Amino acid sequence: MLEYDWENSVGYWICTTSHAIRRALSNRLAQERMTLRQWEVLACLSQRKNSSQAEIAECLGIEPHTLTGIISRMERDGWVRRVASSVDRRRYSILPTERGHDVWTRAVEWCHEVRTQALSGFTPEETRLMKDLCERIRANLGDEEFTLLPRPATPATTELTAPDLQLVESAT
């Protein structure tokens, strides 16, 4: 039998927690005919304006060709559009449409539902401590990319804003 000290594995704790959150969010999104990957694309777009397909794939930790079908379905459903770059003919920015903004607004509500469920019974201090500890782990491992979250857009803008439940990274 393969043995490992799972009881003391920080990676295991985080990974199983991440899977539980992703599963809960995926189940909620499925009720509204959205996949977790589609949500992740919109979440990435909420954090980074004018992202190319390659940049979104990097943000999600998947290959660009894997993302092609997801983007195509989102484009078919009117959630995003591809816009050719005026400087590089090979580059297309993926931009949310008005319908994409509407879907994102509803998705943020669903994220808040999952977050509320996940943090049930936690005090605000415990929630802040958990966030601080996760940021310290990422900093200790030299992964600053998700340590500092972007500031949300002001209410007067029409840009997508990131929900409090940020893009859940796969812990693999």
Tokens coding 76: 């078919």
Measured distance CA(47)–CA(163) in Å, rounded = 10
CA 159 from centroid of its chain's CA atoms: 16
pLDDT over threshold 50, residue 169: no
Q: Is 50 exceeded by the pLDDT of residue 38?
A: yes
Which CATH architecture is the domain 7-140 placed in?
Orthogonal Bundle (1.10)
Measure the CA–CA gap between 35 and 105, rounded to whole angstroms.
15
If you average pLDDT over every residue of the chain, what do you get?
85
Residue owning tokens 């509320």: 116
Confidence band for 143, pLDDT divided at 50, 70 and 90: confident
Residue 165 has pLDDT above 70, yes or no: no
- Could you give the 3-state DSSP secondary structure of residue 45? helix
Mean pLDDT value across residues 95-106: 95
Res 99 pLDDT > 90: yes
- Greater confidence, 169 or 81? 81
Q: How far, in Å, CA of 146 to CA of 7, rounded? A: 26
Compute the Cα dihedral for 98, 146, 135, 24 and give only its sign. positive
Residue carrying structure tokens 């509204």 = 32
Return the structure tokens found at 125: 């201090």
HSE, CB side, 13 Å, CA atoms: give it for residue 123: 3
Nearest residue to 145 (alpha-carbon basis) of 20, 48, 65:
48
The reply to whether the predicted model has a pTM over 0.85 is: no
